[in-house]
Amino acid sequence: MSYCSDMKLGLYMKIPRRTLFTAQILGCILGALSQQSVLIWMLGHISDVCSSSQPNGYTCPQGRVNFGSAVVWGAIGPQRLYSVGKIYSGLLHLFWIGALLPVITFFAKKRWPKQRWLHAIQ
């Protein structure tokens, strides 16, 4: 999303498309390489980098977040959350409502083409 918004802003500023694309690609490549380089250096040169006893506070929180979501989807499971009669079972109705609403608005625009409020729905 950030990439798209940056491209949109660059086009509004009248930067040529090829120049903008080249700058964005080079920025992405350089950013990824520098981030990986710093990560590899940190893992090799900072002792106890992902332990809770690390003196500088480098505790690798992303690993705990991934573990937490794995527990939610593995141990608890979507069946216990989204099955019929469970706490979030009503959310499943949004799938068929989301599939049906564009069809309804399409036929409503065909049936009543002069209605302005229907043309506001895109």
Higher per-residue confidence, 65 vs 85: 85
Q: What angle do CA 96, 100, 105 make, to 5 degrees?
A: 155
pLDDT reading at 68 higher than 80:
no
For residue 25, give both structure tokens: 């690609």
> How much is the pLDDT for 97?
94
Q: What digits encode the pLDDT tens for the residues 74-116?
A: 777 777 777 888 888 888 889 999 999 999 999 999 998 888 8
Residues in the chain: 122
Q: What digits encode the pLDDT tens for the residues 22-57?
A: 999 999 899 999 999 998 898 888 887 777 777 887
pTM above 0.75, yes or no: no
Grade residue 64 by pLDDT with cuts at 50, 70 and 90: low
Distance, in Å, from the CA atom of 28 to the CA atom of 25, rounded to the nearest integer, reads: 5
